[in-house]
Copies of this chain bind each other. A is one copy, B any other.
Amino acid sequence: MSVKSQSKKEDLLRVAGEIFFRQGFAATGVKQIIDEVGIAKGTFYFHFSSKEEIGIAWLKAANDNWNAAMAEKLDKANSPRDKIIALFSMLEDWIKTSDYRGCAFLNSLAELPQPEGLMREVVREHKESLRAEVVGLTRAHFSDKSKVYADHKAYVIYLLFEAALVESQNSREDWPVKTVHQELLAILS
């Protein structure tokens, strides 16, 4: 029962996802993907009807993976406060391991000008669910405060999360992560 190559389609999605993230969706050709997987052109189009389709599959898988990792990480934290902090700990890890390539979803957002596209839809949904998560945790943490107050703080926390991703990618320094980490602790008092 080998670890590698459970199926060509999975291989394709995994390899394509890596390249898409590394060098961008538009900048990646189907040729490069199939060469790196070691399959023929026709095999690619047997499994995915278009480049956009594998792009959507890539973002959906990235969303699923993130949600799974997040659920696992947050389960280990006890209080809403600890869960929020755990979220930012994931962010720090990601920025380090991703070689400052930033966020696959935000990068795709920038590459895709038309807001009507299917990939853009996946981006919106991913960010919306992340924001909902932050809102839920923040409301729980500020259960003694008004919902208006808690939601405002939640939005700020979410925005800082996003900004850390983008500014780390741009500056390739660690001040964004440190700043949001410190501000987060202040917000959660």
Residues of A within 8 A of B (CB): 22-24, 26-27, 100-102, 106-113, 115, 123-124, 127-128, 152, 155-156, 159-160, 162-164, 166-167, 169-172, 175-176, 179-180, 182-183
Given contacts A156-B160, A164-B159, A175-B155, contact A109 B170 (CB under 8 A): yes
B179:A113 contact, CB within 8 angstroms: no
Show 28 residue pairs from A and B whose CB-CB distance is below 8 angstroms, ordered by the A residue.
A22-B113, A23-B113, A24-B26, A24-B110, A24-B112, A24-B113, A26-B27, A100-B115, A101-B113, A102-B109, A106-B166, A107-B110, A107-B111, A108-B110, A109-B166, A110-B111, A110-B169, A127-B170, A128-B171, A152-B183, A156-B183, A159-B164, A159-B167, A159-B179, A160-B160, A160-B163, A162-B166, A163-B166
